[in-house]
């Protein structure tokens, strides 16, 4: 290939990478925009009340993206040339970040599914195995990435090349994203079927909360599965320089969606007749799980019987208890 053709190819590659930088910058702006929209709800609902490990899960989902955004800024907008010690030191981040954020989001979603299915051990076990497999694969991939070299572009003084380019493990990426797609499908189908079966008539607040669960699941499924599918397509057909782009965007979108799932449920708990707690879905008096195959929401309504439970006239609000839900 002639020298002019080489320069043309390199310039084209630089333009592609530059557009990739702009795309990722826009995704980072989306996180900031979403954060500004929801910080009020976070302070009002998430930070209110007792702090549990579910709250810690929310904080991890919410703020782990900050570290990733800082890393992206350093790798994509720093002033040093591509062949940089920083790229070598942080070459494990593009693998560690998506596996970590996805695992945290999957744990949050699994807790919700486990709760609304009335602690169905089969569903919980299937989802837990998928999460454990993803975490194990993530650890293996991080170790593999740490041992491998960073793919470096030629040392040419073009501004478009001021970016770290990491070598993609195509087979591993395909396994990871396809596993995530299967997980999302199982979760979505389970929530839809369970919500349909467990809708309880005649109790204020319960249908609206089930609607919230279904709405959130639908939004999460549509967005996250779309990006996972796009990541698979990029791994299969896109040029190597941009194969990681959907995955990098996904690592910002997944925490955004997961934190919104938790916040929406906390916000729903503030409704006058629908208060969620972290207790089990039990009878309010006996503490035993319902035997009839339906979700038994404990309630406190002045002077009223609820199933076999009678609550004294201490409150004018119904308490809907759902296990492991933020």
pLDDT digits (tens, 9 = 90+) for 222-244: 888 888 888 888 878 877 666 76
Residue with tokens 């790798």: 75
Asked if residues 265 and 58 have their Cβ atoms less than 8 Å apart, the reply is: no
**In whole angstroms, what is the distance from residue 65 CA to residue 70 CA?**
9
Asked if residues 245 and 23 have their Cβ atoms less than 8 Å apart, the reply is: yes
Q: For the chain, what is the largest distance between any 2 Cα atoms, rounded to a whole number of angstroms?
A: 89
Comparison of pLDDT for 78 and 125, the residue scoring more: 125
Give the tens place of pLDDT for each residue, 96-137.
777 777 888 888 888 778 777 777 778 778 778 877 877 777
**In whole angstroms, what is the distance from residue 20 CA to residue 13 CA?**
11
Distances (CA, A) of 194 to 56, 92, 152, 198, 299: 27, 39, 50, 6, 21
Helix axes 53-77, 3-41, angle to 10 degrees: 150
For 73, the token pair is 């800024």
Domain boundaries, the chain: 3-270
**In whole angstroms, what is the distance from residue 17 CA to residue 23 CA?**
10
**In whole angstroms, what is the distance from residue 130 CA to residue 128 CA?**
5
Q: Which CATH fold would you assign to the domain 3-270?
A: Rhopdopsin 7-helix transmembrane proteins (1.20.1070)
Q: Determine how many CB atoms are found less than 10 A away from the CB of residue 165.
A: 20
pLDDT classification of 9: cutoffs 50, 70, 90: low
Mean pLDDT, residues 262-276 taken together: 64
pLDDT of residue 65 exceeding 70: yes
Average pLDDT, the chain: 67
Asked if residues 248 and 234 have their Cβ atoms less than 8 Å apart, the reply is: no
Model pLDDT, residue 86: 62
pLDDT of residue 26 exceeding 60: yes
**In whole angstroms, what is the distance from residue 275 CA to residue 206 CA?**
10
**In whole angstroms, what is the distance from residue 78 CA to residue 276 CA?**
46
pTM of the model as a whole:
0.65
């Amino acid at each position: 290939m002639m020298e002019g053709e080489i320069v043309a190819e390199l310039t084209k590659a630089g333009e592609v990478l530059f557009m990739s930088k702009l795309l990722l910058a826009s995704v980072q702006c989306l996180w900031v925009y979403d954060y500004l929209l929801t910080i009020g709800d976070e302070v009002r609902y998430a930070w209110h009340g007792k702090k549990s490990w579910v709250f810690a899960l929310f904080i991890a989902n919410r703020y782990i993206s900050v570290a990733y955004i800082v890393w992206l800024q350093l790798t994509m907008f720093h002033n040093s040339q591509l062949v940089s010690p920083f790229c070598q030191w942080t070459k494990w981040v593009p693998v560690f970040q998506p596996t970590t954020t996805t695992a945290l989001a999957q744990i949050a979603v699994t807790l919700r599914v486990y709760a609304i299915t009335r602690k169905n051990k089969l569903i919980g076990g299937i989802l837990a195995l998928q999460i454990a497999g993803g975490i194990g694969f993530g650890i293996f991939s991080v170790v593999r990435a740490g041992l491998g070299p960073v793919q470096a572009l030629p040392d040419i003084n073009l501004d478009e090349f001021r970016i770290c380019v990491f070598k993609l493990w195509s087979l591993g990426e395909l396994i990871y994203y396809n596993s995530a797609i299967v997980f999302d499908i199982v979760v979505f189908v389970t929530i839809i079927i369970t919500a349909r079966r467990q809708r309880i008539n005649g109790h204020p607040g319960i249908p609206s909360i089930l609607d919230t669960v279904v709405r959130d699941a639908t939004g999460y499924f549509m967005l996250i599965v779309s990006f996972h599918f796009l990541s698979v397509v990029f791994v299969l057909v896109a040029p190597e320089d941009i194969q990681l782009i959907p995955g990098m965007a996904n690592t910002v979108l997944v925490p955004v969606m997961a934190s919104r799932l938790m916040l929406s449920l906390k916000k729903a708990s503030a409704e006058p007749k629908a208060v969620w707690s972290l207790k089990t879905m039990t009878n309010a008096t006996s503490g035993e799980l319902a035997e009839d195959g339906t979700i038994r929401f404990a309630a406190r309504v002045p002077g009223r019987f609820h199933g076999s439970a009678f609550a004294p006239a201490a409150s004018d609000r119904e308490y809907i208890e759902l296990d492991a839900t933020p």
